[in-house]
Structure 1
Amino acid sequence: MHADGGDHRRIRRAGPADVPALLALGAEHAVFERLSHAADAGALASALQGDPPRVYAWLALVGETAVGYASATLDFSTLDCACYLYMDCLFVREGWRGHAMGRALWAQVRALAIQVGCRSIQWQTPWWNLDAARFYRRLGAREMAKLRYNLPLHDA
């Protein structure tokens, strides 16, 4: 499917029924970012439920085809003594980048942060993803010089 103006485009909140689409997009996102990917459909479905859910997610759709997604969680900064929204993922499939899908997903993430009273939105992107860095700078974001660590915890 190619990006053209004749398609019906929309962004909508994702729920447990959208887990297959989110997992497919997540797998593509992991390949793009050169990451390993272990998916647990049940855990994702569970996290999308609740009031509030553990994770908020949105799908970018063209017709009924998912071409991108964003996800975020609420967190709290002890340094700022304030709530912030952590945007875990924002990904748009190749062929749909540059067609305002990322900006539309971002708008939903930002609207939620404002709605729930967050002081800021935080996220990360690989250092080599210059297109993403340029996109985020155009949104008015500032880069933070930090290292990110990951310590896998496995069942004993």
Structure 2
Amino acid sequence: MLTDTARLGGTVRPAILADLPTVARLCAAHAAFERAAPVPADLAARLESALFSTHPRAWCFVADLREELIGYATCSLEFSTWQAADYLHLDCLFITEPHRGEGWGRLLLDAVKRTAEAFGAAQVQWQTPDWNADAIRFYNRAGAQASPKVRFSLRV
């Protein structure tokens, strides 16, 4: 499916419905890693409608190492007013600790890039915590450009 997966002994593939409980656990681990609020208890059910409806709002790819999910990436299509063009927002990219640095992150990022290309999106955009030096180095090596912004959220 993706290059270099044979070397890793697994694959990166689109998530399937049966993956959702594990994806929800990976999301919880990701939130804890980023020092964020815990994910909702019903996250798997919430993700089901977003990822597997007739018109999905988001897409999820999983890193599958011999039937064990060790990472995931999620993305959604967005619109840039300044560019007057669609872009793909990479919401999450997470690999479990024992498998970081093995190449899974690059394979997940490549899957997201191919999705952007399939939608005709001009680019992929995302953010990472400023303290996550490993992620910043990874994204720099992947050729990404950083932009200095402060991220806000407003509860409604």
- Normalised by the length of structure 1, the TM-score is 0.90
**Deviation >6 Å, runs of 4+:** none
Aligned equivalent of 1:145 = 148
Alpha-carbon displacement from aligned partner over 1:73-131 (angstroms, at most 9, x marks no partner): 00001110000000000000001001001011111000000111000100000000001
Alpha-carbon displacement from aligned partner over 1:25-75 (angstroms, at most 9, x marks no partner): 001101110011222322111001135411100010110100000000000
Q: Cα RMSD (Å) of the superposition? A: 1.5
Aligned equivalent of 2:97 = 94
Aligned equivalent of 1:15 = 16
Identity of aligned residues (%): 42
Contact 1:84–1:118, Cα closer than 8 Å, also in 2: yes
Q: How many Å separate the matches in 2 of 1:32 and 1:53?
A: 27
Is 2:93 the counterpart of 1:78? no
Q: How many Å separate the matches in 1 of 2:47 and 2:119?
A: 22
Whose helix proportion is higher, 1 or 2? Answer: 2
Contact 2:27–2:39, Cα closer than 8 Å, also in 1: no
Stretches of structure 1 lacking an aligned partner (at least 5 in a row): none
Aligned equivalent of 2:29 = 28
Stretches of structure 2 lacking an aligned partner (at least 5 in a row): 1-5
Aligned length: 149
Aligned equivalent of 1:59 = 62
